[in-house]
Amino acid sequence: MRFKTSFKLAVFTGILLFATTVTAQDLEPRMLSSLPVRGNFAIVSYGYSRGNILVDNSLPIDNLTSSLNNIVVGYARSFRLFGRLAKFDAVIPYSFAHFSGEVAEIDTTTRRNGFGDPLFRISMILVGTKALDVSEYNKVPQKNFNLGIQFRIRPPIGQYYSDKLLNLGANRWAFKLGMAASYTVKKKLIIEGHFTSWLFTANNNYWNGNVIKQKPMISGQLHLSYVFKPGFWLAVSFGAGGLGKTTLNDVPQDDAQQNTRYGVALAYRRGKPALAASTAALIKNRAL
């Protein structure tokens, strides 16, 4: 598979980016995929999710059922950082959401359409794949083992109404720190694991002037990907997260977060070198 440094257009699988717009527990197979440096990529993604899913996991809602349609656009660029392969990506989600649940034992139903909080990330491979130019990339064998880190930030600029309990934005800063490792078996099967933590600032204008704070959340995920050929792969993913208790006006709440998420993604790249497209297939989400 050959790369060019010219601008590319790609339609990625919804599971690759969609989950990050919905909850702190995200699924991202192939995060450590190798790229030549100075590559530019446009990202367009669609995802559908249904279940007990919240944009903000700290909200006090029972028996929640969510139906979310997400359109995600973004940009990614690969580059050298301290001599290692690194990538910057920016993601902007637009959501069509329907929520139903119980607030203070009262049935509530609402809809929200608009922009969510964007996400910006820098990731880097510390061990394994080297930072190579296009001319070198196709000549050097890829490493079987990769170890990397990531830092992601989510600023509070999405749609938010302080008099509404359910919103597409969270009205607080969030920071994600994580490590990931992958191992390729016979150039086809890729086993990948992630360990991450989300940190949150306070929401000082939460639901009619209250103040809510949340302790860090941690999560882990496992991905099994099978590469049929370059640019065509299937991934099965599982993730689980926990902790993240909140305080409401400095009063501790008994609301430790526990959730699981699983997904299936199929990606296919086709077309001319300067124009690529792929198909997005199946996403299933479940929170416990």
Q: Is residue 39 part of a domain?
A: yes
**DSSP line for 13-36:** -HHHHGGGGT-SS---TTTT----
What is the number of structural domains in the chain? 1
Write the pLDDT tens digit of every residue in 128-151. Answer: 888 888 878 778 877 889 999 999
Which one, of 236, 243, 237, lies nearest residue 258 by Cα? 243
What residue type is 69 in one-letter code? Answer: N
Containing structural domain, residue 211: 8-268
Q: Is the pLDDT of residue 223 over 60?
A: yes
Write the pLDDT tens digit of every residue in 86-112. Answer: 999 999 999 888 877 655 555 577 788
Task: Please tell me the predicted confidence (pLDDT) of residue 259.
Answer: 77
What residues contact residue 93 under an 8 Å CB cut-off, 6+ apart?
A: 18, 21, 70, 71, 72, 115, 116, 117, 118, 158
Which one, of 204, 179, 205, 207, lies nearest residue 193 by Cα? 179
Burial class (CB within 10 angstroms; exposed 0-12, middle 13-18, buried 19+) of 288: exposed
Could you identify the residue written with the tokens 């941690």?
A: 218
Write the pLDDT tens digit of every residue in 162-215. Answer: 888 778 888 999 999 999 999 999 888 999 999 999 999 999 988 888 898 999
Task: Please tell me the predicted confidence (pLDDT) of residue 140.
Answer: 80
Q: Tell me how far the alpha carbon of residue 185 is from its chain's centroid.
A: 25
In angstroms, rounded to a whole number, what is the distance separating the alpha carbons of residues 261 and 152? 20
In angstroms, rounded to a whole number, what is the distance separating the alpha carbons of residues 252 and 221? 28
Average pLDDT over the chain, rounded to whole? 77
CB 221 within 8 A of CB 193: yes
Q: Where does the chain show beta strands of DSSP type E?
A: 8-11, 40-51, 62-81, 84-103, 106-115, 119-127, 145-154, 174-185, 189-200, 203-206, 210-214, 217-229, 232-243, 246-248, 251-252, 257-268
Q: Is residue 279 part of a domain?
A: no
In angstroms, rounded to a whole number, what is the distance separating the alpha carbons of residues 172 and 178? 20
Q: Is residue 273 part of a domain?
A: no
Q: Is residue 276 part of a domain?
A: no
Write the pLDDT tens digit of every residue in 39-52. Answer: 888 878 777 776 55
Residues above pLDDT 90, as percent of the chain: 29
> What CATH code is carried by the domain that includes residue 30?
2.40.128
Q: Is residue 283 part of a domain?
A: no
Q: Is residue 288 part of a domain?
A: no
CB 180 within 8 A of CB 192: yes
Q: Is residue 85 part of a domain?
A: yes
Q: Is residue 21 part of a domain?
A: yes
Task: Please tell me the predicted confidence (pLDDT) of residue 21.
Answer: 38
What residues contact residue 97 under an 8 Å CB cut-off, 6+ apart?
A: 55, 66, 67, 68, 69, 111, 112, 113, 168
